[in-house]
Amino acid sequence: MVKTAVLMATYNGEKFISEQLDSIRQQTLKPDYVLLRDDCSTDETVNVVNNYIAKYGLEGWKIVKNDKNLGWRLNFRQLLIDVLAYEVDYVFFSDQDDIWYLDKNERQFAIMSDNPQIEVLSADVDIKTMSTEASVPHFLTFSSSDRISQYPKVYDYQTFRPGWTIAMKRDFAQAIADNWTFGANISHDNLIETTASIIGNGYNLNESVGVHIRYGGNASGNSKFVLNWKSPKTQHITGLKTFVDFYETMQKVVNKYQNDVALNQRLAFEKERLEASK
């Protein structure tokens, strides 16, 4: 029997996490495991989750609190490592403050089952802004006449859709986890979607699977790695190291499938930029 798992990174989400937990619990394709990892919240997030699990008697649901703060990027990396200790075939990512439509996982699972070439499947979203300061992300427009679209091959640090829409097969999750080192502070959605675009196994479901809620301080909306000539030197070095880590990790994963000359050239270019900045 096919088994699925949901991964959620949490941090100070006590005010809104229960609604997202509801949308996971009520999925028409119920997950076998829901693994949450809390990144040292200073509010009652962990207690809220534990009480929720107890209230509904949810077997296979578990929250672990980190001993020290990892940051949301490395927290998702650790969740990938966590889930591979379980017998799961499909992995779904979740944020703590978005809402899934109740047939989300069932729709994505059905498409991936019917199309064995797909190892990564993201999806469209409906967007709800909660404040005037909230940024609205701009996503690539796929064909409205097709239900699914293959990712175009890209080599930039980017995403096609939010990370919480990603469904991924175990083998690809294993390849990512095996090659993503602890020191590489990169975003899981950028890494997974861009890598899949190069390999050719990434697709998008051109249907909305949930509501992407935008606050003033969404982690995915920050500009930490947006560099310009006014940025301080230390920020340039940090950002350029992130790009090098990103391309090195991608290269290792892609090399399991194929040799990509353009990716090798991009990595060499980013390394030269980093050295020149020091």
Contacts of 25 (CB under 8 A, 6+ apart): 56, 58
Q: Is the pLDDT assigned to residue 189 strictly greater than 60?
A: yes
Can you name the residues that pair with 62 across neighbouring β-strands? Answer: 35
pLDDT (mean) for 232-240: 85
pLDDT band at 119 (very low <50, low <70, confident <90, very high): very high
pLDDT digits (tens, 9 = 90+) for 5-63: 999 999 999 999 999 999 999 999 999 999 999 999 999 999 999 999 999 999 999 99
**Does the pLDDT at position 250 exceed 70?**
yes
User: How many helices and strands, by DSSP H and E, does the chain display?
Assistant: 8, 9
Phi, psi of 6 (to 5 degrees): -115, 135
- Give the three-class secondary structure for 121: strand
- C-alpha separations of 201 from 12, 84, 107, 174, 252 in Å: 35, 20, 18, 15, 16
Q: What percent of the chain has pLDDT over 70?
A: 94
The alpha helices in 68-181, defined as continuous H runs, are: 72-83, 104-114, 170-179
Over residues 125-156, the pLDDT tens digits come to 998 877 667 677 788 999 889 999 999 999 99
Q: Delimit the domains of the chain by residue range.
A: 4-219
Residues 6+ apart with CB under 8 A from 274: 237, 240, 241, 243, 244
**For domain 4-219, is the CATH number 3.90.550.10?**
yes
Contact (Cβ atoms closer than 8 angstroms) between residue 221 and residue 214: yes
